[in-house]
Amino acid sequence: MLSRLVSSGVLASVCLLGMALGSVLHLLVPAVPLWVSGLCGWSALVFMLLGSRSLQPFTQFFLLAGAGGLLLVWGILRGGHVSTTDILLQNNGLLVMLYCVGFLRLIAAGEGAVQESLPMGRKAFLQTLLGMQLLGAVINISILMLMAERLRAGGALDRRAAVVLSRGFSMAAYWSPFFAAMAVALTYAPGAQLYSVVLTGLGLMLVSLLVSVLELGGWRLQKVADFRGHPLHFSSLIIPLMLAVSVMVLHAWLPSVPVLMEVSITSVLLTVVFLWIKRPQSVRRELTAHVQASGARMAREVSLFLGAGLLSVGVQTLSGTFDWQPFSHFGGLQASLALAAAILVSLSGVHPVVSVSVLGSLLTSLPVDPNMLAVLFLCFWSLGVVASPFSGLNTVLRGQFDVSGMALFKGNIRYVLLMWLVASLVFFGKMG
């Protein structure tokens, strides 16, 4: 039994590597079909299912894929058309990006932070909020776990710390090119320009940062005078800054290359270079271990995004057989209501990517500003994950800080409502 589990996990990891290499090969040699990458992604999921001791972690995949399959069959029976390639490649680009960005965890976690005592006071509060946002923008959920574990080990176990981490992490979804949210937004808002989306997202991030500082800290930060937080040093920001600059420069130099591929390639190349400079003797060993563990580490993301992708294909296939469309126009009011609906849906435990995939599929035939549509999808993600007690973000914090989902919900709901109002004003101003 153990050998079967190990071999299935290794095969899943090999397939994920093949998924990434297939995309790169297609970029370099267009004659190599891109569906090879998609087939490797689905094969990885099959091996993950075969190697799992329980299918419970894949419940959401079965629900999404089941609903998508039913809609797909219904659409085909009504005369709709879909190709195998459509199914294989839906959400493939963002999965490749997630896989490649995962390499950054090998270099982006600060060394020696564990030995440093926890700072206290207003500065500690700001360092924790900013550090979580800036580092989370690059290495995603890994830094959340590292910071949470560091605070727990240091005895900083209170609801405030958990809320600060959840706010800081969710803010990164507004703007970071390395965040899964950006990959989803660009996938379901074809034609969106990275620069425009990032600039608008940065504006929302700064407003959310100001709202959080004032709400949690008070006008003079008097509420956090005794706050124990996580240290932040300039050296820990070098890699995030280099990555962001590299992607922007590469995008300006090669505008025809998909942004997701630029992020993917940059993440892996910089990881290899930094490892070679800092730990040349262990480069091969660390990279090999990381690749071999990728199957188990990415099981949740692979199943979630492939399931959501199949649901999206089903919605597109079925909706294309009807003359009726749910929207005759999609402007500021519709965007505001859609955001409110997505937040409410997320409270039930449904991941924001499901709301994005459904709405994105329904809007394919409407003339919607792709940049603002991408920003809307980023808001789905940012506000959805921080609002829901059942999101992966808050699940991690509940486990590390021993706080209830209701406590996190109460700590964040006012912020979510305020940011919904702010985002709605942006949509009304930009979309009419």
- Per-residue pLDDT reduced to its tens digit, 133-180: 888 887 777 677 777 777 776 666 678 888 999 999 999 999 998 888
User: Residue by residue, what is the 3-state secondary structure of 109-167?
Assistant: CCCCHHHCCCCECHHHHHHHHHHHHHHHHHHCHHHHHHHHHHHHHCCCCCHHHHHHHHH
Q: Give the gyration radius of the chain's Cα atoms.
A: 21
Contact call for residues 401 and 159 (beta carbons, < 8 A): yes
pLDDT computed for residue 230 by the predictor: 78
Q: Examine the pLDDT at 296 and tell me if it is beyond 70.
A: yes
Q: Examine the pLDDT at 3 and tell me if it is beyond 50.
A: no
Structure tokens at 242: 């280099």
pLDDT computed for residue 156 by the predictor: 65
Average pLDDT along the chain: 87
CA distance 229 to 161: 7
Per-residue pLDDT tens digits for 352-365? 988 998 898 888 87
Neighbour-count burial of 15, counting CB atoms closer than 10 A to its CB (0-12 exposed, 13-18 middle, 19+ buried): buried
Q: Which residue has the higher pLDDT, 304 or 420?
A: 420
The verdict on pTM exceeding 0.75 is yes
Mean pLDDT value across residues 324-345: 89
Q: Examine the pLDDT at 77 and tell me if it is beyond 90.
A: yes
Q: Examine the pLDDT at 268 and tell me if it is beyond 60.
A: yes
pLDDT computed for residue 69 by the predictor: 94
Confidence of residue 1 (pLDDT cuts 50, 70, 90): very low
Q: What contacts 96, CB < 8 A, 6 or more positions away?
A: 19, 20, 23, 37, 260, 261, 264
Confidence of residue 121 (pLDDT cuts 50, 70, 90): confident
CA distance 338 to 430: 16
Contact call for residues 408 and 163 (beta carbons, < 8 A): yes
pLDDT computed for residue 206 by the predictor: 96
Sheet strands (E) in 303-426: none
Q: Examine the pLDDT at 119 and tell me if it is beyond 80.
A: no
Q: What contacts 183, CB < 8 A, 6 or more positions away?
A: 93, 94, 97, 98, 260, 263
294 to each of 17, 163, 265, 288, 371, how far by Cα in Å?
Answer: 9, 29, 17, 10, 32
Q: List 425's β-bridge partners, or say none.
A: none
